[in-house]
Amino acid sequence: MSNDQKIPFLDLASLHQALEGEIMPVVQKALRTAGFIGGPMLEDFERDFGRFCDVTHCVGLSSGTDAVRFALMAGGVEPGDVVVTVPHTFIATTEAISQAGARPDFVDVDEHDYCMDPVKLKQYLEQDCYSDAKTGKLFSKRWKAPVTAVVPVHIYGQAADMDPILELAKRYKLLVVEDACQAHGAEYFSKQENRWRKAGTMGRATAFSFYPGKNLGACGEAGALTTNDAALAQKVSMLRDHGQSRKYYHEMEGYNGRLDSIQAGILQVKLRHLPEWNQKRREIAARYNELLREATPELILPVERSGSRSVYHLYVVRTPERSALQEHLTKSGIGTGIHYPVPVHLQKPYRAMGFKDGDFPVTEKIAAQILSLPMYPGLTAAQQDFVVKTIAQFQKINEGPLSVQPAGRA
Ligand SMILES: *Cc1c(COP(=O)(O)O)cnc(C)c1O
């Protein structure tokens, strides 16, 4: 049946149909108690997600964007500071930096794992910064402002190489905020500490998003911050709730950045399935790797570093013939995505800050070549076979290896 061959990029409807029996009682409970904001449903989820991440504190928030913003603010980033992140991310990372009053700056990513390149971070800190004579603080040469934080992004579900990043941050007294919005449950083997560490435990604070399509997704907007720092967690609890320490007593101006109880209750239900879903994603990725390596040796496949356990939020391949391959897959009824087509530094608001083509060559190169294939726990082996067959067919039609470089851009 040709209908079986229609493979969406992401199938959220089937997943939720299967969970209806577990989710509806949560909604009913909220309706019957009118407990829509705060209360036990929120606290239970915060406790469970904190446990899942191996941290002492979890604060539910309205989005991953707010989680990054509040982490920076509560971690001590001041208006006018420079916060370093990567240009290969979703714009929310840099929006949150700007919303915290700071200025985003970038270091390029590694060509293999697509995460922050620690060597580039080192170069940035050593060559693009100086120690300010008056304050002794680390200053950016370009912005003549203090560099106070770094935000590595665990892109596509794989943790950035944190050991060297943490070491540099310690040396230069930088706050580390992990953007784990795509990496719920990802693990990283720290050689420094000789143990596996979970995404969400390595920085001073970590941002998670529960946007519906994430590995753990709400039925609406949601996010959370994790930390082992009680004082920071306390400050974020106030920031999310109009700066209140208790009702109508405001320590400061805050925001409306709460996680509502229905979403928290739904997330708690779904969290029970997350380890199994992540395992499925890892199996699907391993099977894609095996089949694609065989069928199209020229296609560049995702690289899982040794000492890294990715949770494959996305399965991203690379080819210089990305547009033609995407079109071929679309015509065959296979949904794909591009995460992300335009590097953040080349988006309008950051171009206006003076960033330009050529500033971050690795990010710019991969942005032109990446393609995200269908990836979700319910993806069947037959569906996967069809995706692989269709990619192999594309290669044959083109009568040539996928890796042939097109004229122009390298
Ligand atoms: C989804 C995402 C965010 C933002 O999360 P929201 O909940 O949509 O605000 C931030 N950073 C990255 C890398 C993301 O993928």
pLDDT tens per residue across span 141-166: 999 999 999 999 999 999 999 999 99
Share of the chain above pLDDT 70, in %: 96
**Mean pLDDT over residues 391-400, rounded?**
80
For residue 85, how far is its CA from the centre of ligand 1 (angstroms)?
14
Q: How large is the C-alpha radius of gyration of the chain?
A: 22
What is the per-residue pLDDT for 301?
98
Atom of ligand 1 nearest to the CA of 313: 15
408 pLDDT band, cuts 50/70/90, is very low
Which residue reads 């309008």 in tokens? Answer: 348
**Mean pLDDT over residues 198-207, rounded?**
98
Verify whether ligand 1 is closer than 6 Å to residue 215 (CB atom).
no
What is the per-residue pLDDT for 6?
87
Verify whether ligand 1 is closer than 6 Å to residue 73 (CB atom).
no
Residue among 209, 316, 363 whose CB has most ligand 1 atoms within 8 A, to mutate: 209
Atom of ligand 1 nearest to the CA of 89: 13
| Whether residue 262 is found in the same domain as residue 329 | no
CATH number of the domain to which 77 belongs:
3.40.640.10
Q: Nearest residue CA, atom 6 of ligand 1?
A: 64
Q: Is the pLDDT of residue 385 over 70?
A: yes
Q: Is the pLDDT of residue 403 over 90?
A: no
What is the per-residue pLDDT for 402?
52
| Predicted TM-score of the model (pTM) | 0.95
Q: What is the DSSP letter of 256?
A: B
**Mean pLDDT over residues 372-399, rounded?**
92
**Mean pLDDT over residues 239-257, rounded?**
95
| Whether residue 172 is found in the same domain as residue 282 | no
User: Domain total for the chain?
Assistant: 2
Is residue 406 domain-resident?
A: no
What is the per-residue pLDDT for 401?
52
- Nearest to 375, CA basis, from 111, 88, 182: 182
**Residues in Cβ contact with 31 at an 8 Å cutoff, skipping those fewer than 6 apart:** none
Residue 106, classed as helix, strand or coil, is: strand
CATH number of the domain to which 285 belongs:
3.90.1150.10
Range of the domain at 310: 274-397
Q: Are 212 and 23 in contact (CB under 8 A)?
A: no
**Mean pLDDT over residues 347-370, rounded?**
97
**Mean pLDDT over residues 225-239, rounded?**
98
Verify whether ligand 1 is closer than 6 Å to residue 92 (CB atom).
yes
